[in-house]
């Protein structure tokens, strides 16, 4: 009876969580932390929140560094930051593609005419619910232990 109550609670939470049954959300701080802690991790998956929050943070930091570089009359800080974020930027792009069940090699489509537009559409697609060939969903953090 206790088990059936827990199962009912899990099902209710899953149904409320959305179509995929998951509801993990990533904020900007956590996304930036994951961006740099997975510096050269090309395996696994990254959800939309993790990708777009990290993308926004990198754009904002680049903008601020560009202003500082302009005030100092040198273009060093922005260049160093761009080099420092190049590999993790590719890595998070690969993990984001893995989340929609696509190979990381799809990043190369950006070198084709209109390929960047196709890649942009891919980055907005919601991830595959549950586990796919690249691992478990980064949003799926709800377990029976959560209710205990």
What pLDDT, in 10s, does the model give residues 107-143? Answer: 999 999 999 999 999 999 999 888 889 888 887 654 4
Which residue from 126, 90, 132 is spatially nearest to 108, judged by alpha carbons?
A: 90
Residues 108 and 67: their CA atoms lie apart, in Å, by 31
Strand, coil or helix: 142: coil
* Residue 60: half-sphere exposure toward Cβ, Cα within 13 Å: 8
| Cα–Cα distance, 64 to 146 (Å, whole number) | 41
When pLDDT is cut at 50, 70 and 90, the band that residue 9 belongs to is very low
Spatial CA neighbour of 141 closest among 7, 11, 25: 25
Place of tokens 């998956």: 45
- Joined together, the tokens standing for residue 39 give 């510096």
pLDDT at 139: 73
pTM score, two decimals?
A: 0.75
């Amino acid at each position: 009876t206790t088990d059936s109550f827990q199962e009912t609670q899990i099902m209710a939470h899953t149904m409320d969580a959305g179509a995929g049954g998951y509801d993990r959300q990533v904020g900007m701080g956590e996304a930036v932390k994951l961006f740099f802690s997975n510096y050269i991790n090309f395996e696994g998956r990254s959800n939309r929140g993790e990708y777009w929050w990290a993308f926004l943070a990198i754009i904002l930091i680049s903008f601020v560094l560009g202003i500082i570089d302009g005030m100092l009359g040198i273009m060093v800080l922005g260049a160093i930051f761009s080099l420092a974020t190049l590999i993790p930027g590719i890595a998070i792009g690969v993990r984001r593609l893995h989340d929609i069940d696509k190979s990381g090699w799809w990043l190369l489509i950006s070198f084709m005419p209109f390929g960047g537009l196709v890649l942009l559409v891919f980055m907005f697609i919601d991830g595959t619910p549950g586990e796919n060939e690249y691992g478990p969903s980064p949003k799926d953090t709800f377990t029976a232990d959560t209710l205990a």
